[in-house]
Structures are given as C-alpha cells and as structure tokens.
Copies of this chain bind each other. A is one copy, B any other.
C-alpha cells in the first residue's frame, strides 16, 4: 500500500517513516511554497534514510494568509495549523492509499482532530494516519536517541523544511526582520543526518 508522509527531515517525521515502513510503501513528501530551497534539506534526510522523496507545490496565497495571520496574532500557531491542513489536503490528492504526518501525542500544534481526520478520509478516499499520536514526548526522545544521528540547535541555525523558513522569508520580505522575531521566538529544532550503524 502506497503512503505519502508529510516530511520535514526532523526527528518526528523521520521516526514516523520508520514506523510506517513496516506496513506501507512510504514516500516522504515535503510541501513548498517556492519561497526558499528549504525542501532540499528534507530530500537529503529522506535519501539518507532510504526513502523516495517528492516535493509538492503549495498555494502561494496560503503562505500569504498564514504569514498575515501570524503577524496579527503575534505567534505562529494558527498560521502553522492553516498550512498543515492545506498541505494534508494537497498530499491527499496524490495517488496513494494513505497519508500520514509526524504529529505526537503531546504536540499542541499542528493538531488534526478525529473529526478532521474522518473528513479528510471521507473526502479523498484515503486513510489518514498519525503514527506518533500514541507516543509521548519522552518515548519519542528515547526512540530517536536509539535510532538516529540528530543535530539539534536554535531553530534558525538548523537545516529543515517545516514551512518556518519559508514563512520567515516571506515576512522579512513584506515587513522586516523585527516582525520575523516577533512571530518566531527562539526555539530548538532537530535535523536527522542518518540512522545509527
């Protein structure tokens, strides 16, 4: 069975890929607005893990809308949620039996409610799977440590492809760097380089 996994190159979606690999032909898919080349980080990580990769083009108007929402809010949560939903809708259009993401039990954003999951499944005729939603933060951290070589650091220094880079670029272009810092306070990110030997 063919499955498209929303993939950023980070530890959560990398762990999700290995969990699903037991039962599905997993393709790692990264959405991109075409604003930066950040999606190439995801392609490198997917290739290092041995999974096929695909870039999916996302509607530029969704980036604009999400960026303005983040600036109005003063924090990224609702904008990130909007982009995540749009990206799930986009990959559900692919010729696959199932779509998946790396959402964990303890994540506050993005979230996909049971009703949203059922709606996505019914409208697109696919299964939606969140293989990490039954794993807490501590369990994920232990599995990641046992499985991957991970680079961790401040968000802006870590290569990744989780929309943040593109939205930062968009806000900097339309507004300024101060607006970027207002929306995205310092936080830690991870990037998977390879599996342990």
Q: Name A residues whose Cβ lies closer than 8 Å to a Cβ of B.
A: 1, 18-19, 21-23, 97-98, 103, 105-106, 114, 117-118, 121, 127-136, 138-139, 142-143, 146-147
Contact = CB atoms under 8 A, between A and B. Distances in A.
Nearest to A139: B127
A146 B21 CA distance: 14
Contacts of A1: 142, 146
Contacts of A22: 18-19, 21-22
A144 to B, nearest CB: 10
A72 to B, nearest CB: 29
Contact of A147 (B19, B23, B105, B127): B23
A121 B138 contact: yes
A135 B1 CA distance: 15
**Assembly stoichiometry (copies):** 2
A136 B127 contact: yes
A97 to B, nearest CB: 8
Contacts of A114: 105-106
Contacts of A127: 135-136, 138-139, 142
Contact of A129 (B103, B130, B134): B134
Given A134-B129, A134-B130, A135-B129, A146 B18 contact: no
Contacts of A118: 136
Contacts of A131: 19, 131, 134-135
19 contacts: A18-B23, A19-B19, A19-B22, A19-B131, A23-B146, A97-B142, A105-B117, A117-B136, A121-B136, A127-B135, A127-B138, A127-B142, A128-B139, A129-B135, A129-B136, A129-B139, A130-B134, A131-B131, A134-B134
